[in-house]
Amino acid sequence: MSIPCPQCTLDDVHIQAANYVCNTCGHEWAAEVVEAEEVVVDANGNVLASGDTVVLIKDLKVKGSSTTLKVRTKLKNIRVMGGGDHAVEHGGFMLKQEFLRKA
């Protein structure tokens, strides 16, 4: 583990329940859970956020339907779900961010 002990500064540390414990000196401290925030980017590398307006860059067939979302369709007020392939939601459709461009 790469977290050093705050008391003896050695890296000989393990997690026990909700605490870090140093194997060398026995010091215990609370394990802070740091969640990495997943960033969702469009096809051009621009960061997408909930409430943004995006444009489709490809015709998308809707699975289980004869409907097709056409290229250059503007989608207003998207919701970024984060995680997974389909990270953007709009109007009940889950969309892959690689087919979107920020407007």
Instruction: Identify the CA nearest to 54 among candidates 81, 74, 71.
Output: 74
Q: Which domain holds residue 10?
A: 1-34
Q: Distance between CA 82 and CA 51 in Å, rounded?
A: 14
Task: Say if 62 falls within a structural domain.
Answer: yes
Q: Are the C-beta atoms of residues 2 and 11 closer than 8 Å to each other?
A: yes
pLDDT tens digits, residue range 59-84?
A: 999 999 999 999 999 999 999 987 67
Side by side, which strands form the sheet with 28-30? 13-16, 19-22, 28-30
* Residues 90, 58 within the same domain: yes
Task: Say if 18 falls within a structural domain.
Answer: yes
pLDDT tens digits, residue range 83-100?
A: 678 889 999 899 999 999
